[in-house]
Amino acid sequence: MSEQFRTESDSMGPMQVPANAYYGAQTARGVENFPISNLRFSRSFIRALTLIKKHAAITNQGMGYLKPETAKAIIQAAQEAADGKWDSEFVLDIFQTGSGTSTNMNANEVIANRAIELLGGKRGEKLVHPNDHVNRGQSSNDAIPTAIHVAALEGIEKRLIPALTELHAALDKKAKEFHDVLKIGRTHLQDATPIRLGQEFSGYASQVQHGIERLRAAEKNLGELALGGTAVGTGINTHPDFAKKTIESLAKETGLPLREAANHFEAQGGRDACVEASGALKTIAVGLIKIANDIRFLGSGPRLGLGELRLPSTQPGSSIMPGKVNPVMCEMLLQVCTQVLGNDAAITFGGSFGNFELNVMMPVIAHNLLESIELLSTASQVFARRCINGLEAVREKCKDNLELSLSNCTILAPVIGYDKAAKIAKIAFETNRTVRQVAEEISGLDKAKLNELLDPADQTAPAIMPPDHVTLSAG
């Protein structure tokens, strides 16, 4: 047993720690206390938290609070952790202390013990102390929310916005490619007036572009960091310049627009920026649900559905029905967006637990926010590449559906009157004929005039009806 474990102590007494672990007593205590789930903090969060430790050490050395050799070892150890070398040492469950103190100490202990090793010592000797050295100038109460903001901002800026930009470009390309495809529009799931398939796709592209703009707006408040507030926002036990210098250094490395919070009590008592960012993610998810649903319905069939789009065939669709191909990329995206909506509910409720000077739902907010960013990033990119890029218009089906629509009578109403146009639509429906066929019999318009009016291309943009074309029957 003595060969498998070492004994370390924290303020509550001795703890048995696995002999080869870089983490220490407080982490081991957290493992014992929180055997709740298999959920762990994400790679992006660990990177952000350990980069904070790295740049804190740089600042503390510059201020004379750390010896150069100690700072150098901490900086190297923290960089290794930020690069993912010690991810297996971050063993704590998401469902733990609401401040994330256990995970903050997990980072402190891993970095401290690795730094000790770099200095030639043995793990657990506290030649480098997790609190006195690695955590100097910080508290879990400002380091953890800072890590959430940095990780979220980096994920949005470097993963999600590029993925959405790729999806926007794919949709915009299809909007141009499909501009000449005339089809029936639909409202209330019923036939409406003609539209260009490219116009539909321009709407999808615009939704994605608006989502990117919403993320840009949310980035402003995510860039404001709690670091420097320490325990309750007053900055106790830290130098007044510590946060400013550390954040400037961190911003330079990450390339992110980071700054110290204007008010540390807001920055620690509330998680409003996270709720705001999640709201933007939720809105994007809602938009993507609309897009994915439209595409799978437009591609339904292939023979007995709408059948106006041909989706790429990516895999067999059934274990029992040979030849069946399903809109699996749309369904993947719908499931991702459903998860994002659920995550937003958790983040929103978590944001309401800003009790006095500290929000106590930070781990669950971090987990859900960063998961939403990662899911939307990956899913948007895959959807663009494996669905949107390969979409084809079924032009003949679009043309046939357009001619069969009863809403073709809409363009006749200003010329022959609403009531007469409605009568044509009713007769066409009851006799299973087209509006054109019935209008030739009872509209009073000659065939040339009907063909002019019923040209679908002319119906896809606003037009001024000449006065001599407009009925005066309504007074």
Work out the angle between the directed axes of helices 68-82 and 43-62 (0-180°, nearest 10). Answer: 170
Q: Tell me how many helices (H) and strands (E) the chain has.
A: 17, 10
Q: Judge whether 88 counts as a catalytic residue.
A: no
CA distances from 372 to 84, 166, 347 (A): 21, 18, 11
Q: Which of 168, 164, 238, 237 is nearest to 203 (CA)?
A: 168
Please count the CA atoms within 13 angstroms of the CA of 219 that sit on its side-chain side: 18
Q: Which of 38, 51, 180, 94 is nearest to 366 (CA)?
A: 94
* DSSP one-letter string for 96-159: S-TT-HHHHHHHHHHHHHHHHHHTT--TTS-SS-IIIIITTT--HHHHHHHHHHHHHHHHIIII
Q: Answer for the pair 206, 151: CB distance below 8 angstroms, yes or no.
A: no
Q: Which residues contact 466 (CB under 8 A, 6 or more apart)?
A: none
The whole-angstrom distance between residue 195's C-alpha and the CA centroid of its chain comes to 31
Q: Answer for the pair 299, 327: CB distance below 8 angstroms, yes or no.
A: yes
Calpha distance 183→197 (Å, rounded): 6
Catalytic residue among 9, 318, 352, 473: 318
Pull the structure tokens for residue 266: 């807001």
Calpha distance 36→22 (Å, rounded): 22
42: amino acid identity, one letter: S
Q: Judge whether 188 counts as a catalytic residue.
A: yes
End-to-end CA distance of the chain: 99
| Residues acting as catalytic residues | 188, 318
